[in-house]
Every structure is written in C-alpha cells, then in structure tokens.
Chain A
C-alpha cells in the first residue's frame, strides 16, 4: 500500500515523484513503457522558456515564470545540463517589431525579468548567422536550454534513490476505489494499491481521468517534427531563436541544445491518432523555415530527424486540479509547452498545495536531493578521469567513439536508478549512439554490455522494449 501513486513517467510525473520523496510518504510511479521518459518529455525542444508567451493569469504563465526561476538550482542539484543561453524572438517586419513590444509587455505582466528589444545590428552581433532579413528581436535573457530526458531521468532516479518505487511496463487499465483505498490495475492484471493517485499520464491523462469519472478532461495530440545537427555545427547559433508569433502560430525554433547540437523544429500538426512518424513535408517545412531564420544553415551536418507528441487540453491551459468526482485523485493534464520549464514549479505546487491539502506532510529528514553529476565523464579533467579508471578500468574503454562514452558509463546506466534496460534507454542516459554515426559502430557493443549486465541472451536485447529486438536470431 502506497501513500501516493503517480501515473506517468514523464517530466511532470517525475518531478512530482521526487517532490513527494521529500516527505514521509511511500510513493510509486507507474509507467506503461519499458523505460521512463518515453512520451512528450523525450522528444521536445528542451527550452527553458522565459515566460513572455503565455497569457497573463493563466497557469501556464504562473508556472512558467516560477519554473524558469527554479531551473538553474534544480538542474544543478540533479547534475543535469542546463545553459542559460537566452532566447531571441526575431522580427522580420515592422508589424512583427510591434508584436515584440506587446510580447515584452506581456512578459513583464507575467513577471519575466531581463527582457530587451534589440535592433538589427545588436541581433547580428549576438547571432552572426541570422538572416539578413531579420530586423530586430526580443532578447529574453532568462531563457535557457536543458536536456529534457536528462532532467526527467535524473528526477525519477533521485526519487528512487530516496525510496520511490518504479513499475515500468505497467499500463493502467482501471482504477477502483474501495473506501479510502485505490486499486490501480494494469492492462495485464497486476495491481498496485494506494491512498492518493496523481494523474500525469500525458497523452493518456484524459483516459485516466475518465477512469475516475472525470469525463470533462479532453486531451488531444499534436505532432512536432525536428531535425538535429552534428555537434560540429554546435556554434551555428548560441541563443534560442523563435519566430515572432502570428495568428498562424509560433513557427519553428532554431537552437543550440544543452549538449551543443543544433536543433531545428518543431512543426505543429494536429493528429487523430498519436504518431511519431516524420514526414517529407514536415521536414521540408522545417528546412524552409530554418532558411528564413538563418543564412548558411549547415544542413549537410544533419545526423537525425525525429518527431515528438504534444498533449494539449481543450482548455488550452494546464489542468492541475483535484478530481471533482473522486476525492484523492489529482490531475495534471494538458501540460504542453511550457510544461518542461514549468515542471519543477508544478511539482512543488501539486505536492505542497494539493497533496498537502489532503494529507499532513511531514519532512523526510533523510531526503538527499543531490544526484552525482559525473554522468559526463568526457568533460572531466585527465586527472579526474584517471582517478576513476584506477578504481574501475572499464572507464578506460571507449564504446561510443562519436560521443566518447566509456563502458563504465554504460554499465552504470544499466545499474543505477532508473535502470536502463535497452539500447535507447542507455542512449538517453549516456549519449552512446547519439552522435554522428547514430550507433552504427557502438550498438552491437552497447547491446552486449546490456545483455551481460542483465544476464539475458543477446537476442533479447531491444531497441526500446518488447517487440523491438535488435536481431532476429543467431545466424547459425
């Protein structure tokens, strides 16, 4: 019997889970996939938004600005890469320059600090590769970039280190309440019992809400396609470049990532059925927009393209509330952009205000919020590396040559919380396979390490869970 059951291992569920472990509560996380961070937290822009975009007095505006302020300390504690690179909303006409002024005003109302409207010359000084057509920009200095899966995995791993339990491959099929006890049943028939349920199920949050009688939470899917460039082109831009929002939407962004790749996208396409397929037209749209925003885009250095889903609610604001029909259930639904930025602030609010409203919160004195930040072996000094190799020679064996990731780091990813059980999970934790060869060289070796560590035959190692085996069998 858990005090709190969190459904959904994305950044919202993950940061809430971690927040809960700060108190004397027994907590668990239910995730339908083979690993955490498999939905919208996996494939998104990784932007820490300043907070000028959301309409004042919305939950989006409130949590965005709070989350932005929390992010530097939050990521430092968890050893997650965060860069305060600043955002630029770029204007291409006089009309758009006027929109920038409105955005700035809106940002000020939302409580965003350090914004400035800059002219063409200043913009070119900041971003030499900006299009000749760009006239000026809103420079939001509090904007930043974070590794979205790094943040999600670290929050969940830290929660687990502090006692939270993780159930993967647990797709919630039904929620029953008997007296004060919830029984959450998986589609395969396993059950978990708890006193409170927090619904952070992303795209499925509407479905989960319906299981407890809340049929008014409608969640729809939107797709965003991206193109990722080699770190070699990492200096192409340094800020996050946005188009000025128009009635037609926000357009794509051009940004450095926290790992110094260049990320281009996303498109924004409504979907009946959630899909993360890329399309020729979507990628062509991204390229067209990149060419409008910048000059000399090093598209020849493309290393991959991908798509992510966004779950948005019909209310077009975050839904963060107690169930109206079933006491003891809290919904976090429709957490679309700026959800990543907002997550730490949402987590604090949900736990302190909503959970705290239902149960008495008592501090967990043994909570340790730090997570060792040695995930980035290659960034250490040679002396530090040698100290580690002396204790564990496997750190002296490079497995992923493009990102210079060692066997020791891969073993660690398989062993530490939340454990990586497949090749993609290792990739998200270590970057092995995320470089320019896209795993062409290292995948067989990574898979061998996973097989060895998990004690399973090689044929059972998967790319990303059941049904995605790397090989179909032995050759003879």
Chain B
C-alpha cells in the first residue's frame, strides 16, 4: 500500500467528505479518507429525519440524503477511501497510525492532515445521576442507532433527560415507532434544541417538556422500572418536595456533545478549553502547521450546513498548503468577552486574506442586546439582537477591510440594552 499522501482526512462524516471534495477541487489530487465505520456519511446515516440542507441546497433533506450528496461527490473524484479503519494515533509531524483488517497496523504520512473526527455524546455517567445502573439507559444517539440502523426498539416507555436536538428528535422517533414518551426534562430554564424541534417533535405529540427539571433517581434492578424527576433551583440543585415519579423502561440522555479530540491531544495540538476543539486560524489550520480541523471536532455545530461550509474552508486551505507551502502566520487572538461562551476561529491572520465569518455562542438567553466585535477601543462591528440563546450558534461576518484595521487582540462582547 501507499504510505504517503498529500492530504489525509481523518473521518468520513459530513466534515471529512466536504473537506476532501473541496481540497480535491482546489488542486490537491492525492487524498486519503480514513473512516472507522463500514460506510461513509458519519452520524448523518442514522439521522433519518428531514430538515437538513435548507441553507445549502434550499431543500429539506433527510440526513442520509444529505450525506449521499457528499459521498457521491467523493466517489466521483479520484479520492481514496479506507473504511473500517480506525486511526490510533497522530503525531505533530503528521504521521498517522491506523488499523484495519487488511493492512493491520500501518502508518501513513501526509503533507497536510484534516481532522474531522466529529463528536461524542456526554453519557449518563458524566452526570453522577443517582440510582441503579440497569439496562435501558442510553444516550439518545445510541438509541437512534438501535432504532434507525439496527431496527430494534431500545424500549417502549421512555423518559428523556436533556432537550438538545437529538433528544427532541428521538422523542418523536420513539413515539412514531410505537413507544410512549412520558416527558422530556431539561435542567436549564430553556431548551438547547431548535425551536422548531420543540414544535414538531414534542408539541405535535403532546409530549411534555419540563424546564428546570432533572432526573434525580433511576430505578430498576436489571432493567429500568422508573425514574424520579425533580425541579431545580437557580443553582441547579434539586428542590425537595418537587419529585415526580414516572414508570418507564427506558431513559435517554441528550445532555451535550463533546468534540472527540483524543488524536488531537496526542499530537500535542493546542485545544481551546471553551470549545474543547483545536485552536484554529480562520483557514481552520491548527497551531500545528499543516494540520486542519473542521466540523464537530472543532466546535459542536447545530446545523450540518455549517459543518459543510466550515469543512470546505479547511479543504481549500489544506490544498493551498500542499500546493503553495506553509503560511507564515501573523495572527492576533480572537477572544470571547462578556456573555460570550466561545468564538471560532480563535486566531485571525491578515496574511490569509478574505472575509472571515466568526462563529460564537452566547452564555445565556438575552433579549434586546448588542453584540460588538472590537479591537482595543476600535469597534469593528456591532449588531443589535432581539433574542439570542446559547442553543443557537451565532455568526458575524468580518470583512477583509475591517480586519485590516486591527492591530491586536480582537474581542467579541455582548451587552444588554438598557
């Protein structure tokens, strides 16, 4: 086998596929995608609901339909793909060690590496939920895999913790497949899912959403037999006396996604404690030259359309890196100021050129507020917002001309209008 490529893409989900296609179309023809599952497409293969692609394709596609467009794109180009191949490690000098049944453990070297490993779900274990540990406790994504890919029902009588989109989608999905979903509870005073999913996944089926509630106890010896949920106070502590009991055989957790950066850490690539993804320039290059990151491994997105957009950026610049060589970075930091959770990219480099879309999340729900991008005392951009919520990623476009005005650290802040 070949053990040297211009570009190796780690992960064949939406991010990796879009990055590979963009890199190819921008002149890099020697590309390998390493995918651990049997087929390309990543998590989209199990997201059989519709609503994907509205931004990009102006139509509402199912997850597999959206994935298929990119899979077809890869197959139509001369891009090499290894499926059922797990990357075991990555080094700073871009040596990738992977394993599969055909080649065993092998190493490939690349001029540029694109990290597109996606994210994983936070599990029940991370939350210290009290009670027993019976069968029937699943993360929402695992349940989704059972129902949509494997064709099995993880349970018939369900309570869901967490109102992230996967939790909401699974509430509807389990209901359609004949299960009874008793409740979705959310520890925050707001849902982290999209509003339309509250409407079409819960309201359509009269599934109650309990805000400011959490599961305080899981019951059952061998299989779940019930849960207790409680209201929480402003410090997220359960309020005694508010307990509600539900008989159920299944508990689903949809309590957040975490970028899968084990390989990134192994390569000693600097991570942001905010996003838990790599620190990147606007071209999605990490602080290790020639290693790019995109999609949910970089920041957890709400919409796959944005994943594709971001990944194409990484692909374009990875190709440029291969064809034109490394960029001497002259970067300034982009930091999250008051009421802003994080900003991507975390570095801006004038040498890269072009406009830059800043992606960020706010830390709380704010009504009537102003978001400002500034450099020292210079205001680069200001936008008034009627409402912003942490569950929905915000973007602002910083033009090349504005970037030219910067001479130091750039800060994004949110202020409430008085």
Interface size class, chain B: 35 or more
Segment among B124-132, B201-209, B384-392 that sits at the interface with chain A: B124-132
- From A48-56, A152-160, A302-310, the one touching the partner chain is A302-310
Q: Which of A21-29, A275-283, A348-356 contacts B (4 or more CB under 8 A)?
A: A275-283
A-binding segment of B138-146, B314-322, B339-347: B138-146
* CB contact between B135 and one of A306, A444, A468, A474 (< 8 Å): that residue: A468
Instruction: Report the nearest B residue to A408, measured CB to CB.
Output: B101
Give chain B residues whose Cβ lies under 8 Å from the Cβ of A462: 135, 222
Q: Tell me which of B147-155, B187-195, B361-369, B405-413 binds A.
A: B147-155
Tell me which residues across on chain B come within 8 A of A471, comparing CB atoms. 146, 152-155
Expressed in whole angstroms, the minimum distance between the Cβ of A409 and any Cβ of chain B is 13
Q: Which of B121, B123, B147, B177 has the most CB of A within 10 A?
A: B123
B372 to chain A, nearest CB (A): 30
Contact across chains for B84 and A306 when beta carbons are under 8 A apart: no
Q: Is the CB of A278 within 8 A of B102?
A: no
* Minimum CB distance partner of B176 in chain A: A475
Give Cα A406 to B86, complex, Å: 10
CB distance from A273 to the nearest CB of B (A): 12
Contact A280/B86 with A382-B105, A389-B101, A437-B123 known, Cβ cut-off 8 Å: no
B124 near A438 (CB under 8 angstroms)? yes
Residues of A within 8 A of B101 (CB): 389, 393-394, 396-397
In chain A, residues 290-311, which have Cβ atoms closer than 8 Å to a Cβ of chain B? 302-306
Q: Is A385 interfacial (CB-CB < 8 Å)?
A: yes
Contact bitstring A436-451, B, C-beta under 8 A = 1, else 0: 1111110110000000
Cβ B151 vs Cβ A475 within 8 A: yes
Beyond A444-B145, A470-B135, whether A459 also contacts B152 by CB under 8 A is: yes
Residues of A within 8 A of B154 (CB): 470-472
Contact of A436 among B36, B120, B135 (CB under 8 A): B120
A441-B99 contact given A385-B104, A463-B135, CB 8 Å threshold: no
B145: chain A residues at CB < 8 Å are: 444
B133 within 8 A of A: yes
CB of A469 closer than 8 Å to a CB of B: yes
Inter-chain CA distance A396–B141, complex, in Å, is 25
Interface, chain B (partner A; CB < 8 A): 36, 84, 86, 88, 97, 99-105, 120-121, 123-126, 128, 130-135, 138-139, 141-142, 145-147, 149-156, 177-178, 216, 221-223, 238, 249, 265
- Chain A residue contacts of B100, Cβ below 8 A: 396-397
A286 to B344, CA, bound (A): 37
Contact among B102, B138, B149 for A396, CB-based, below 8 A: B102
In the complex, chain B residues whose CB is within 8 Å of the CB of A439: 142
Residues of A within 8 A of B97 (CB): 382
Once bound together, how far apart are the Cα atoms of A304 and B146, in whole Å? 22
Contact yes or no, B155 A472, CB < 8 A: yes
Residue in B closest to A465 when the chains form the complex, CB atoms: B222
Asked if A283 contacts B152 (CB within 8 A), the reply is no
Interface residues as binary, A265-279 with B (CB distance below 8 Å gives 1, 0 otherwise): 000000000011111
Known: A397-B84, A440-B120, A463-B222. 13 other contacts (CB 8 A): A275-B132, A304-B124, A304-B125, A382-B97, A386-B105, A389-B99, A397-B100, A438-B123, A440-B139, A464-B222, A471-B146, A475-B178, A476-B151
A404 contacts chain B at the CB level, 8 A cutoff: yes
Q: Complex formed: what's the CA distance from A468 to B133 in Å?
A: 11
| Contact A468 B134, beta carbon cutoff 8 Å | yes
Q: Which residues of A contact B151 (CB under 8 A)?
A: 474-476
Contact with B along A365-391 (1 / 0, CB 8 A): 000000000000000001001100110
User: Is A438's CB under 8 angstroms from B130's CB?
Assistant: no
**Interface contact B102-A277, CB-CB below 8 Å:** no
Residues in A with CB closer than 8 Å to B139 are 437, 440
Q: Is A473's CB within 8 Å of the partner chain B?
A: yes
In Å, the complex CA distance between A282 and B130 comes to 9
Contact of A302 among B84, B120, B125, B131 (CB under 8 A): B125
Rounded to whole Å, the gap between the CB of B242 and the closest CB of chain A is 14
User: Which residues on B sit within 8 Å (CB–CB) of A437?
Assistant: 120-121, 123, 139
Query: Known contacts A385-B105, A472-B156: does B222 contact A466 (CB below 8 Å)?
Result: yes
6 sampled A-B residue pairs with Cβ under 8 A: A278-B131, A386-B105, A396-B99, A437-B123, A470-B154, A474-B153
Cβ of A90 within 8 Å of any chain B Cβ, yes or no, is no
For residue B145, which residue of chain A has the nearest CB? Answer: A444
| Contact between B223 and A468, CB atoms less than 8 A apart | yes
Q: Which of B84, B130, B141, B146 is within 8 Å of A277, CB to CB?
A: B130
Contact flag A305-B84 (CB < 8 Å), given A397-B100, A474-B153: no
Contact B153 A473 (CB under 8 A): yes
Assess the B102–A393 pair: CB atoms within 8 A.
yes
Contacting residues, chain A, for B141 (C-beta < 8 A)? 440
Contacting pair A389 B105 (CB below 8 A) = yes
| Complex-state Cα separation, A228 to B126, whole angstroms | 9
Of all chain A residues, the one with the shortest Cβ separation from B149 is: A444
Known: A386-B104, A440-B120. A278 touches B135 (CB 8 A): no
Q: B104, A280: Cβ atoms under 8 Å?
A: no
Q: How far is the CA of A444 from the CA of B38 in the complex (A)?
A: 14
A274 CB → nearest B CB, Å: 11
User: When A396-B99, A444-B142 are in contact, do A464 and B135 touch as well, CB less than 8 Å?
Assistant: yes
Could you tell me if B123 and A303 are in contact, using CB atoms closer than 8 angstroms?
yes
- 4 tightest CB-CB pairs across the interface, nearest first? A304-B125, A467-B222, A463-B135, A393-B101
Give the chain A neighbours of B130 by CB distance below 8 A. 277-280, 282-283
Q: Is A92 among interface residues, defined by CB-CB distance under 8 A? A: no
A475/B152 in contact, CB under 8 A: yes
Q: Shortest CB–CB separation between residue A347 and chain B, in angstroms?
A: 30
Interfacial chain B residues near A393, Cβ < 8 Å: 101-102
Cβ contact within 8 Å between B131 and A444 = no
With both chains docked as a complex, state the minimum distance between the C-beta of A252 and any C-beta of chain B, in angstroms: 15
The distance from the CB of B22 to the nearest CB of chain A, in whole angstroms, is 26
Minimum C-beta distance from B166 to chain A (A): 11
B128→A443 contact, CB < 8 A:
no
Q: Give Cα A227–Cα B125 distance, bound, in whole angstroms.
A: 9
Determine whether the beta carbon of A278 is less than 8 Å from that of B105: no
How many Å from the CB of A277 to the closest CB on chain B?
5
Q: Is the CB of B36 within 8 A of A401?
A: yes
List chain B residues, Cβ under 8 A from A118. Answer: none
Residues of B within 8 A of A302 (CB): 125-126, 128
CB-CB under 8 A for A440 and B123, given A385-B104, A468-B134: yes
Q: Which residues of A contact B156 (CB under 8 A)?
A: 472
Is the CB of A70 closer than 8 A to any CB of chain B? no
- Specify which chain A residues have a CB less than 8 angstroms from the CB of B265 in the assembled complex: 232
- Chain B residues contacting A444 (CB-CB under 8 Å) are 142, 145-146, 149-150
Question: Among the interface residues A228, A278, A304, A475, which one has the most CB atoms of the partner chain B within 10 A?
Answer: A475
Instruction: Kindly identify which residue among A276, A282, A440 contacts B142, using a CB–CB cutoff of 8 Å.
Output: A440
| In the complex, residue of chain B having the shortest beta-carbon distance to the beta carbon of A463 | B135
Interface assignment of A398: CB less than 8 Å from any CB of chain B: yes
B153/A398 in contact, CB under 8 A: no
B38 smallest CB distance to A (angstroms):
10
Q: Give Cα A366–Cα B41 distance, bound, in whole angstroms.
A: 54
Contacts of B104 in A (CB 8 A): 382, 385-386, 389-390, 396
Residues of A within 8 A of B84 (CB): 397
Nearest residue in A to B156 (C-beta to C-beta)? A472
A469 near B123 (CB under 8 angstroms)? no
User: Across the interface, which residues of A come within 8 angstroms of B128, CB to CB?
Assistant: 227, 278, 280, 283, 302, 305
